Structures are given as structure tokens and as C-alpha cells.
Amino acid sequence: MSKQNPKFSFIVPHYDGVISDEQFIEGMSSIAQSTYKNFEVRVYHDGPTSRPIPDLDQFGFEYSFKETKKRYNDWGHSLRDLGIREAEGDYIVHFNPDNILYPEGLQGIVDMLNFATTYNIHEQCNSLERTFGLFDNCYEVVVCPIILEGVIRFPNGGLTRTRVPYHKTILDGFPTIHHNVDCMQIVASKKAWLSIGGWYNKEETSDGLLAQELHNKYKCLYSQATIGIHR
């Protein structure tokens, strides 16, 4: 890893047979095309690999790769927890390897944090933090919209998968409630994640449960800029 701490750490869980190499390459390539470059990528493979993953050197970003000695088989949650604890970045981006990051996704988050800092929109910051330029420390959680591919939203708000892959639904994460949040949407600081015990919940739908916990503890900034696509 670089000597200077990055702004963002991408935590990428990987497991045999879940996605194709082509999808993995597309996802990693989308990170490489980010216009904001101050990030690291941490890839964790769930258990011994049955075949090599694509060469990460081809993408040109700072990365680390770790293969766990045992297979957790818990939807990547144990790998996300490991990544949170080892990350060097200020903020964590939980990125499934078949996701797509928009080129301006990270820059939009940085711009929002800078705007919030400049205009003092966070009511929890005290005057001492404003005086000494520590205002940015008050913003621990940003919730970003994403596009869900192949998902239909019912009138009652429920979501379901469809076999029509081009059908797209915007998931804005507002309100931050269970079943209304995907892990890619919650860009929280390492400090915030550790304060709730990391990714300790290993339920399949723990994304929304942990997002609620972060929301209850920290005042969230809600971005209007879509960060990427969940496929």
C-alpha cells in the first residue's frame, strides 16, 4: 500500500463460481476508470481458489489480495469485516465484483463532503471543530443512490428480481431502512464501521440492518448523484 493513506478503500469479496471472470474484469475496470484516484482496492477470496483470479496488475491501481484459509460461505460478510479492519482509507466502499462504479461516483462523494464542510450543514458539529478545521470529521456516513439491474419495484415499495435484465430500478437508500439499502450505497468512514463492531451481522440481508445502525448513530448525508450499478 502507498505511504499516504487513501481517501477510500474498496472492499471486494470474491468467491469461486459466483461471477465470471468477464464480470470481475468489468467491475475492476470501472474502478480503474474513476476520475478520483485517491483510493486503494482490497480483494478477499473466500477460501482456497479453485482457479486463479484475473491478474489485478492490469488495472493500474493500488491493491492487495488475500485468500482466506477457510471458506466462510456467508455472502461475503466475513470478508467485508476483514476488509474494514485492514483498510487504510478514511471511507469504506463495499463493492461486489460484479458491480459497476460510475467514473464520477467517488468525485461526487468528495464534492458533497466538501460542500457540507464549507456550508456548515451538519448540526452535530460544534464550534470548536469548525474553528480548528475539523468539520470534515463530523461526516461519517454518505448514502448514495445506485441502479439495480433486473429488479422491479412494486407499488408497496417491495423489490423483486425479474428475468428482464434491462429493467432498471433506482434505489436511493432513503429512508435508510431494512430491505431498502444495498451495501454499495453506504459509504461510511472506517471509524464509523468500527464503532458499531464492523460487519458483525452475517445474515444474508445484513446490509440494511447495519445501514440502519449507522444511520441511528451518525447523521447521514444523502447524495443525489448515482454512484453506480448493482447487477
Q: What is the pLDDT of residues 121-167, one digit of tens each?
A: 544 444 444 444 444 446 899 988 888 875 555 545 555 555 555 54
Identify which of 103, 113, 110 has the alpha carbon closest to the alpha carbon of residue 35: 103
- Can you tell me the distance from the alpha carbon of 42 to that of 11, in angstroms, rounded to the nearest whole number? 5
pLDDT at 192 over 90: yes
pLDDT at 123: 47
pLDDT band, very low/low/confident/very high, at 114 (cuts 50, 70, 90): confident
pLDDT at 93 over 70: yes
pLDDT at 205: 83
- Whether residue 171 contacts residue 182, with contact meaning beta carbons closer than 8 Å, is answered with yes
Identify which of 102, 87, 86, 83 has the alpha carbon closest to the alpha carbon of residue 32: 102
Instruction: Break the chain into its structural domains and give their ranges.
Output: 8-230
pLDDT at 80: 97
pLDDT at 12 over 70: yes
Residues near 226 by Cβ (< 8 Å), separated by ≥ 6? 102, 105, 144, 145, 146, 147, 170
pLDDT at 174: 58
Q: Which residue bears the cell 458533497? A: 112
57-71, 83-97, 119-133, 198-212: least confident range = 119-133
Kindly state the percentage of the chain with pLDDT values over 90. 50
- Can you tell me the distance from the alpha carbon of 176 to that of 103, in angstroms, rounded to the nearest whole number? 25
Kindly state the percentage of the chain with pLDDT values over 70. 76
pLDDT at 120 over 60: no
pLDDT at 77: 95
Collapsed DSSP state (helix, strand, coil) of residue 149: strand
Q: Which CATH class is domain 8-230?
A: alpha beta
pLDDT at 129: 45
User: 213 vs 16, 48, 108, 168, 186, CA distance in Å?
Assistant: 31, 33, 24, 28, 11
Mean pLDDT, the chain, whole residue set: 82
| pLDDT digits 0-9 by tens, 26-80 | 999 999 999 999 999 999 999 888 888 999 999 999 999 999 988 999 999 999 9
